[in-house]
A and B are shown apart, each in its own frame.
Chain A
Amino acid sequence: MTSMAMKDFDAPSSAVNMLVGKGFVEAALTRWVSGGLIHGDGKRGRFLDKLSPPPPDIWEIRITEPVVQARLFCRFAEPDTLILTNLHTRGHLGSKGSEGWLKAMATCTQCWDDIFPGEKPFSGTNIHTHVTENCHDFPIS
């Protein structure tokens, strides 16, 4: 996790903690770290999904079950290794392609560049090149 993500995760007054609940965010992180099932329907990932570029190779962890949903923005440093850059409530982002999404994706890119200057994120051809175990097949954009 980047320091920005960690700050939002830890701060009791962060929007995600206030509106979604830290417990749900922590459960999602545990699911990833402990190798929980990564699955999707025929069109997209349910828990982990790749966002439409640009910018390229940005993924979201989707926390969908509480009433207020959250999205955790991240990029793959290598297969099975996600770098979580920033987190937002779903409502803050607005509809797909809106300014909220673009800003959040730009923040993700900026965080990545600050940590790994000059390094590109890992980019694979399908979900199994990114997640090598306990992962069902679903298309990535």
Chain B
Amino acid sequence: MTSRSPKKRKSSDRADYGFARARDLAFDAVYSLWRQRQEDGMKQVDIARTLDRSPTWVNRSLRGPGNWTLRTFGELVEALGGEIELSVHALEEALPARPNYHAYAGYECGTDIVVGSAYPLSTVPSSSALNGGTPDISPVPAILHSLTSGA
């Protein structure tokens, strides 16, 4: 690794990053469904039986994604009775933000305007209104108003 040129190292870093992000997101999604199924009474042995895998394999796979392949991902989703929805968007395309949220909510004093929004805090429309539904001006909870107005 020490003999790699800076350019090659940078490429390797990006590859590692992409791999780690994909692996983590896949594991998180499966693990969340596993927790839900556990609450419903499912056990690891049920997964093992469904997939004709050893309980050890199931236990190891649900502890971390270290040895995962796409096949592991698909098998576990199937055994957990899940359905995969994949979405990949261009990095420059911003994800939709909640209309009444910004990073400094609760820290500001002396203003009742949501930063980055054209709406006074007291008249922030609900998401249904912004999405084309019937305008629905929701009152802001008193605690939020007092935080932002410095009261």
The reply to whether the CB of B135 lies closer than 8 angstroms to some CB of chain A is no
Instruction: Take A23-B14, A23-B15, A26-B13 as given contacts and tell me if A36 and B64 are in contact as well, using a CB distance cutoff of 8 Å.
Output: no
Instruction: Take A36-B24, A37-B32, A39-B31 as given contacts and tell me if A22 and B64 are in contact as well, using a CB distance cutoff of 8 Å.
Output: no
The distance from the CB of B19 to the nearest CB of chain A, in whole angstroms, is 8
Task: Give the CA-CA distance A37 to B6 in the complex, in Å.
Answer: 33
Task: Give the CA-CA distance A65 to B25 in the complex, in Å.
Answer: 14
Question: Which of B2, B31, B66 lies in contact with A64, CB distance below 8 A?
Answer: B66
Q: Which residues of A contact B28 (CB under 8 A)?
A: 36-37, 39
Question: Do B35 and A23 have beta carbons less than 8 Å apart?
Answer: no
Question: Do A41 and B63 have beta carbons less than 8 Å apart?
Answer: yes
The reply to whether the CB of A21 lies closer than 8 angstroms to some CB of chain B is yes
Instruction: Take A18-B1, A27-B20, A36-B24 as given contacts and tell me if A65 and B66 are in contact as well, using a CB distance cutoff of 8 Å.
Output: yes
B19-74 interface (Cβ within 8 A of A): 19-21, 23-25, 28, 31-32, 35, 63-66
Task: Give the CA-CA distance A19 to B9 in the complex, in Å.
Answer: 12
Proximity string of chain A (1-37) to chain B, C-beta cutoff 8 Å, 1 when within and 0 when not: 0000000000010000011011110111011000011
Instruction: Take A27-B17, A27-B21, A31-B24 as given contacts and tell me if A21 and B12 are in contact as well, using a CB distance cutoff of 8 Å.
Output: yes
Instruction: Take A12-B6, A18-B2, A36-B28 as given contacts and tell me if A27 and B16 are in contact as well, using a CB distance cutoff of 8 Å.
Output: yes
Question: Do B66 and A12 have beta carbons less than 8 Å apart?
Answer: no
Q: Which residue of A lies closest to B32 (CB)?
A: A37
Question: Do B17 and A23 have beta carbons less than 8 Å apart?
Answer: yes
Question: Do A23 and B20 have beta carbons less than 8 Å apart?
Answer: yes
A12, A26, A46, A65 pick with most chain B CB within 10 angstroms: A65
The distance from the CB of A20 to the nearest CB of chain B, in whole angstroms, is 9
Q: Which residues of A contact B31 (CB under 8 A)?
A: 37, 39
Task: Give the CA-CA distance A138 to B13 in the complex, in Å.
Answer: 32
A23, A27, A31, A37 pick with most chain B CB within 10 angstroms: A23
Q: Which residue of B lies closest to A47 (CB)?
A: B24
Cβ contacts A to B, 16 pairs, < 8 Å: A18-B2, A23-B13, A23-B17, A23-B20, A26-B13, A27-B21, A30-B21, A31-B24, A36-B25, A36-B28, A37-B28, A37-B31, A39-B28, A46-B64, A65-B20, A65-B65
Q: Told that A19-B1, A23-B16 touch, could you supply 14 new A-B pairs with CB distance under 8 A?
A: A12-B9, A21-B16, A23-B13, A26-B13, A27-B16, A27-B21, A30-B17, A30-B21, A37-B28, A37-B31, A37-B32, A46-B64, A64-B66, A65-B23
> What 5 pairs across the A-B complex have the smallest Cβ distances?
A23-B16, A27-B20, A23-B17, A37-B28, A23-B13
Instruction: Please give the residue numbers on chain A whose beta carbons come within 8 Å of chain B beta carbons, in ascending order.
Output: 12, 18-19, 21-24, 26-28, 30-31, 36-37, 39, 41, 46, 64-66, 136
